[in-house]
Structure 1
Amino acid sequence: MVVLPIRFERSPRLHAMLSEEPHPVGTRVVVQGKRGPEVATVRGEAREPLAQERYGAVLRAAAPEDLSRWEELHRAGEDLKWLLRARARGRNLPVKVVAVEFTLDESLVTVSYSADERIELSSLIGEVRAHTRARVNFAAVGPREQAQMIGTLGACGRENCSSTHLQDFAPVSIRMARDQQLPLNPEKLSGPCGRLLCCLQFEHTQYLELLKDLPRKNARVCHEGSGACGKVTKLHPLSGTVDVATDQGLLQNVPPAELRRMTEAEVRALPEGRGSGRPGKGPRPASSE
């Protein structure tokens, strides 16, 4: 027995499946998933199973009749999805039907939907049962899962990360944008799902390392060479420099090695209105906001 990483159609997540024989990457296979038999694609090389892991099962390589039946069920699911959308709209139900998926043996149909509030779906269940004898399962999905299943384009012009390669949805906070010195514009920081961009997490650890040696924004500092003092107004982690607005009205871009952080006593001795910044080093800990 070997373990194969396989991928279902509507998600990039890889699932480990036990198989009696290895199958080449790209092979369509029939697997026994949680919902029942489905068609999936092999996305990696075979490996040895581990005792502590739990696996699904690869039943066989998909035969032409399996693929033909799978395509037929996919079309039936798409037709049913648009019918349910029309019925929901006609009944003023505040729900969006995202996807309708059958198992290969047509024993179960899963209707994925999104809604902002708890709603009664009994009328839609009746519509589904009028078109299939399969058991009906309604599954609520969040905004990120919806974008993952539908597939959208991100601000970068490429298909969104959630439907191409992300294996899990890690928490993303506005602190990540602040640490990367990005403008806090909701339109720029939100993905097609309306939530904070997943890619904000990709480089956050590196930015935290770069920020360790930079003074905090608004900290009071003095230039070692000229002796001019002022307030840090902007950090440039990638270039390793900061902008300092001096008390003489100048704006200087300098490396932190040339700066001296003012002591608390020096800050308190400043004229009123100039000592609001506080000395310090590095970013504040990331919050969960």
Structure 2
Amino acid sequence: MSDVQFRELRHAPAMPVNFAKAVMRAGVKPGKNPTLPNVGLRLNDVGLDSKHLKAYRKVCGFSADGRLPITYPHIHAFPLHMALMMEDGFPFPAMGLVHVRNRITQYRPIAEREQLNIKCSLGNLNQVEKGWEFSIFTVITTAGERVWSSESINFFRGGGHGRKEEKKAAGEPAPATDTVEWKVPGNTGRRYGAVSGDRNPIHLYPLTAKLFGFKRQIAHGMWSKARALAQLQSQLPEEAFRVDVQFKLPMFIPATVKFEQQPAADGVDFRVLARDGVKPHLTGQLRLLGE
């Protein structure tokens, strides 16, 4: 990331403009040897709106405690993510990408009134069996102190090397010590889209989702992660920790799903399963950072 050429923005990129550009770039092809532009975006002194924060907490299930929900900074970084994917030379169509994994590191709790400085960049382009993966990195500082970072791994289907990749045997999951059932309304995608700006048609209505090959609308992956961490809110550490999630099967909504957690060394493992308790929508691992 040291050779990234950062460009400073005066305002957050407008999400309707980002989506309009994404539609115009729908026909972009990566070619045989795609590369990522070495550009980054920086947005400083982002103040937080109390009404927006309240709406985010409500749709994701967080309670008000004077601190930002751990997933909330992603909402302010996402317009920069989209803008990076609209840059000249970006090899993939944004509308054809799948968010497959996400890692968030919180170095300390962030108070509601702190202003955020956000930097986003691209990296880690890798050819995999069925296509390409790349990362969008985000670093957030306040008053010169790094307080939060993330890596969002996205997948483009097509042009993969075709070689089967050896996967470690998962083994039997540890017995869950706590299971909670969630009712996920059909308007969850619209409500989350309103606060996140991510109004991808696959999340909104049955008709708009069917246009992209889904039988009905699906929940946002980052909503699922946020909802899981809201369930764990009282257990989140004061010290630095990291939360990794792997997005699995899409969650068609409305839905009834199960959230399960079990203790692990230096943290907790959790998952969101379909109502049958078998099909996974999300798996996650929360771990304290080593000294």
Q: TM-score range by the shorter chain?
A: under 0.3
TM-score (norm 2): 0.24
Q: Which has the larger radius of gyration?
A: 1
Tell me the TM-score normalized by structure 1: 0.24
Structure showing greater relative contact order (alpha-carbon pairs closer than 8 Å, 6 or more residues apart): 2
